[in-house]
């Protein structure tokens, strides 16, 4: 998993509440277990017409936001089914941070496990960032995970809270496998001992 320390990029405003995982990545794309290639289907039904043409009014289809790295959204983001494909699709599109007043618990946890930083903020702060994001290509927001600070295009700063363990995992690029591999020497020692003590296993 790629470490997350500092992020600077355009923020896209998605001023919607209850954006569920089926809206993020529709069910027909869940047949794969590959983490790549899903970005093209992100928000599929909102981004594209049935004939495959783009809906010009959807935020990520607008020129200023096609390479957005940050998404500013409404409350209860990521609700619905627990599909891990949702953060995979966001990450594959290029989004590494989602800012919202609240998240569905499973989606929130899946973001950390896949290198995305989900930031919970009071509604007033989200409203301010939503307004900042409305500036289009000038909506550059900087996020410093170590300092737990967000800086808007006007230089204003907002502090955010994050669980320390999850913060360290993101800073170091540790997913569940990475955490396990940190104890590789202890695992090897244990297996050697088991071979001696219980050779029939």
Q: What is the mean pLDDT of the chain?
A: 92
pLDDT tens-place string over residues 117-146: 999 999 999 999 999 999 988 889 999 999
Q: Let me know if residue 30 belongs to a domain.
A: yes
Domain count, the chain: 1
CA distance 38 to 44: 10
Q: Let me know if residue 58 belongs to a domain.
A: yes
Which among 173, 161, 69, 176 has a CA at the least distance from the CA of 115? 173
Q: Let me know if residue 198 belongs to a domain.
A: no
More confident position, 188 or 27: 27
For residues 65 and 136, the answer to whether their CB atoms sit within 8 Å is yes
Q: Let me know if residue 171 belongs to a domain.
A: yes
For residue 127, what are the domain limits? 6-175
Q: Let me know if residue 107 belongs to a domain.
A: yes
Which among 187, 184, 166 has a CA at the least distance from the CA of 175? 166
Q: Let me know if residue 15 belongs to a domain.
A: yes
Count the alpha carbons within 13 Å of 102 in the hemisphere toward its beta carbon: 7
Fill in the DSSP letter of residue 77. Answer: B
Q: Let me know if residue 201 belongs to a domain.
A: no
Q: Let me know if residue 195 belongs to a domain.
A: no
Q: Give the CATH number, domain containing residue 144.
A: 3.20.19.10
């Amino acid at each position: 998993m790629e470490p997350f320390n500092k992020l600077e990029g355009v923020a896209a405003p998605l001023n919607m509440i209850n954006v569920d995982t089926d809206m993020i990545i529709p069910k027909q794309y869940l047949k794969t277990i590959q983490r790549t290639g899903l970005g093209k289907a992100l928000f599929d039904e909102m981004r594209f017409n049935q004939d495959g043409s783009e809906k010009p009014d959807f935020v990520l289809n607008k020129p200023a936001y096609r390479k957005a790295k940050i998404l500013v959204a409404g409350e209860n983001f990521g609700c619905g089914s627990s599909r891990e494909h949702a953060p995979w699709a966001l990450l594959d599109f290029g989004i590494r941070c989602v800012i919202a007043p609240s998240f569905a618990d499973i989606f929130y946890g899946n973001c950390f496990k896949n290198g995305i930083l989900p930031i919970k903020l009071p509604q007033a702060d989200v409203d301010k960032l939503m307004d900042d994001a409305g500036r289009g290509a000038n909506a550059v927001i900087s996020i410093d995970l170590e300092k737990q600070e967000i800086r808007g295009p006007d230089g204003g700063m907002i502090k955010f809270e994050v669980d320390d363990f999850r913060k360290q995992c993101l800073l170091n690029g540790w997913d569940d496998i990475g955490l396990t591999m940190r104890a590789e020497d202890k695992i090897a020692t244990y297996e050697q001992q088991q071979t001696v003590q219980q050779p029939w296993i």
